[in-house]
Chain A
């Protein structure tokens, strides 16, 4: 770890700076603003550092759908589980994915029953596993937003270039702007209206490094919602909030970038080209808690269908949809219409180690964050 990077902790968590920003927000904020932080990383920062406690009541956070683990529907986890049970298969995925339960159990449970399930830190680690196990089929269960997609693309690239015959992919990559759009456009089943209560967005940090801030242009323009792309450190978030407060006070809806140290307007065009080379938009991808969202998921391009585990194992993979649990109100929570504590089963039947709905699955989900860090503390 480079020394310089370590010193950043001091700068971005400087308590004096934090307090000064919070004070400015208190002074300037007049109207109620419901701010959605789209990304799970932000939810984590906000809850872990207790940011709501230093902000005035006018600022309310709506925790967004931005965790690729939380939103993975049971159908897809069932796929992973079933694939892990096929003969001579090594199932590989990234970190926290392996503990999410599907209808048969989680990948961790599959592993405890003898399946060969491994997690890697980087998709490229799959190459090593594939080379060491030439007689096995290595299936990579690829998940993540735009941040991790280029890494999967790099793996596909290597597999193609090296002509590896024993690596397959189960692709579950999803894209951020489409789900933001869905939250604003969609009809909410429970209240039967188009209502949502999202007044402004905090744009993701790492995702935007790849996509550039340009992908959020539509939200201020078409929907009149301010978007501020913000870094992951607590001070970044608070500064982002101040920028939103000022936009609202001025009656503006603009796309602004607080995270200039890493995010540009165009983003990483090389990575974007790489993604386009190997992936294509799916017509629909189902999000746990939100349902099917058009064009929000990716798949391998047809030229690479021979690498697609979904096609190759088509006959063993179930296609039926699994409904979200009736009592779960994640959909409302994600639209800012309800708080986790409004859910009947919050903290009782639904807990982090046996989640009923998507928001409880990882610590970045709204319900889990409330449960774990005590979102009720004031």
Chain B
């Protein structure tokens, strides 16, 4: 491992895993952490518990803001374990000089998103730090949820399972890059930032039991699929043409040399399902406006174990690897 932390250690990909293994697991590993799920099940599996920290530039982007993000992020981790988000803690590190009006706007956005999830803030903390110590505002949230769908786990996948994605991928990552770099895109490119619990609840109400669900945040679709392939010791084969990607997202990727499959999402999740549940799942998820493009993208096989392969429209195959490094624009 390198001597100092680099930005690559926070990418959700390979270096990130090295850091977790080499430092945190080294000292702290236990039965809960070992499972490396989005949230840990506690109290005999009745409750799910998780935490997440948020820093983003710009604080307001098309499709959301840091406040909305801080609630979606944590509540989505709970939802992905089949748990209804209930109690949230909210901690803020604020840079000296931050505008009161802006803070108020962010907190209003937090309130609105809590209502969507059905959760409340039960404890909070604020620290104000000298100018330059943090970039404007950092938020940490933790959440507790009550498990309503049991038995969801990354090690559940078996040969024959279907892989479904809830909507078109990469919108959050692409929108943030476009906003940050002032890339003029005459379009409606918006972050997918959204709470997923209502969707999971709809699935539950329809009697569907996903084997595994995960929101494709940092590291994108590629990271989720690779983690599953490893955890379940299987091969996941996806069809490139079936992965829904908005034209604007493709455009940004082409421009900067990114892979849409490595871009972050904040309201997009991937499901592993018994094939007989696919049709119903897609139908239920499509009742949500943003999931118009929900579709099956691949299947679980045993061809290249612990690997993800992607087949092109002209039937060539390649590995879809875990994203590595910091996402950086291509030079030529």
Contacts and interface: CB of A to CB of B under 8 A. Distances in A.
Interface of A: 1, 5-6, 9, 13, 15, 18-19, 22, 39-41, 47-51, 53-54, 67-69, 94-99, 105-106, 108-109, 111-113, 119, 121, 143-145, 147-148, 206-207, 352-353, 372-374, 377
Interface residues of B, number: 42
Interface of B: 2-8, 14-15, 181, 185-187, 247-248, 250-252, 254-257, 304, 307, 309, 312-319, 321, 324-326, 328-332
Contacts of B330: 95-96
Nearest to B259: A48
Contacts of B257: 95
B332 A145 contact: yes
Nearest to B9: A112
Contacts of B2: 105, 109
Instruction: Name, among B6, B318, B332, the residue most crowded by chain A CB atoms within 10 Å (CB to CB).
Output: B332
> Which of the listed residues A41, A54, A353 has the most CB atoms from chain B within 10 Å of its own CB?
A353
Given A53-B316, A112-B4, A1 B329 contact: no
A206 B324 contact: no
A108 B324 CA distance: 14
Given A108-B6, A148-B332, A51 B316 contact: yes
Closest 7 CB pairs of A and B: A50-B316, A15-B313, A374-B319, A95-B329, A1-B251, A53-B316, A373-B318
Given A15-B314, A109-B2, A373-B319, A144 B326 contact: no
B331 A49 contact: no
B250 A9 contact: yes
Given A109-B2, A109-B3, A374-B307, 20 more contacts: A1-B185, A1-B251, A9-B250, A15-B314, A39-B332, A49-B316, A50-B312, A51-B316, A53-B316, A54-B314, A108-B326, A109-B6, A112-B4, A112-B5, A121-B329, A207-B332, A352-B325, A353-B324, A372-B319, A374-B317
**Chain A interface, DSSP helix/strand/loop, else mixed:** helix
A108 to B, nearest CB: 5
B331 A374 contact: no
A187 to B, nearest CB: 29
23 contacts: A1-B185, A1-B252, A5-B251, A13-B313, A48-B318, A50-B316, A51-B316, A53-B316, A94-B331, A95-B331, A96-B329, A96-B331, A108-B6, A109-B3, A121-B256, A144-B331, A144-B332, A147-B332, A148-B331, A352-B324, A352-B325, A374-B307, A377-B318
